């Protein structure tokens, strides 16, 4: 939910709040790509009983994501940081890195994501403007 939350703040020119220091990284996948992967798996007999990672490509830090969203939406939003201990209850742990290995699905059905992070941001922003 970080990407829609950041886009919403950027469109309103409100501060974009990053929890932690922003160095944690993620890979984002467009819902259209994920749906295409699921539908292809569902109609492919050789995938029955198998487990696949579905995800995007291009590891991005949360700070880089915020900067990219600000640039893409032409926002005047500032980036602010909130330490984890102020945002979450004691004992909260964030994964520093979430990067799916999509090799298996590529090999099984020839799937790979078609949308870039830029197109994901653009589509989310367009929907939020409606």
pLDDT, tens digit (0-9, with 9 covering 90-100), for 69-107: 999 999 999 999 998 888 887 877 888 999 999 999 999
Q: Which of 62, 76, 61, 66 is nearest to 6 (CA)?
A: 66
What is the pTM assigned to this prediction?
0.90
- Return the pLDDT at 62: 97
- Return the pLDDT at 103: 97
- Beta partners for residue 26, in sequence order: 60, 98
Pairing label, strands 60-61, 25-26:
antiparallel
E strand intervals along the chain: 16-19, 25-26, 60-61, 79-82, 97-98
What's the mean pLDDT when you consider all of the chain?
Answer: 95
What would the mean pLDDT of 41-68 be, rounded to a whole number?
A: 97
Domains within the chain, CATH numbers bracketed: 2-129 (3.40.50.720)
For the chain, give the percent of residues with pLDDT over 90.
Answer: 88
Spatial separation of the C-alpha atoms in residues 39 and 37, rounded to whole Å: 6
Spatial separation of the C-alpha atoms in residues 24 and 64, rounded to whole Å: 10
Residue 67 — very low, low, confident or very high, per pLDDT cuts 50/70/90?
very high
Structure tokens at 106: 């590529």
């Amino acid at each position: 939910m970080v990407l829609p939350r950041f886009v919403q703040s950027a469109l309103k020119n409100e501060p974009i709040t990053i929890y932690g220091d922003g160095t944690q990284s993620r890979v984002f996948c467009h819902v259209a790509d994920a749906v295409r992967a699921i539908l292809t798996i569902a109609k492919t007999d050789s995938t029955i009983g198998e487990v696949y990672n579905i995800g995007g490509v291009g590891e991005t830090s949360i700070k880089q994501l915020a900067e990219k969203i600000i640039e893409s939406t032409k926002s005047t939003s500032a980036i602010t940081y909130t330490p984890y201990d102020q945002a979450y209850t004691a004992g909260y742990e964030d994964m520093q890195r979430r990067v799916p290995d999509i090799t298996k699905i590529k090999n099984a059905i020839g799937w790979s994501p078609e949308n870039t992070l830029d197109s994901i941001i653009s589509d989310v922003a367009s929907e939020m403007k409606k």
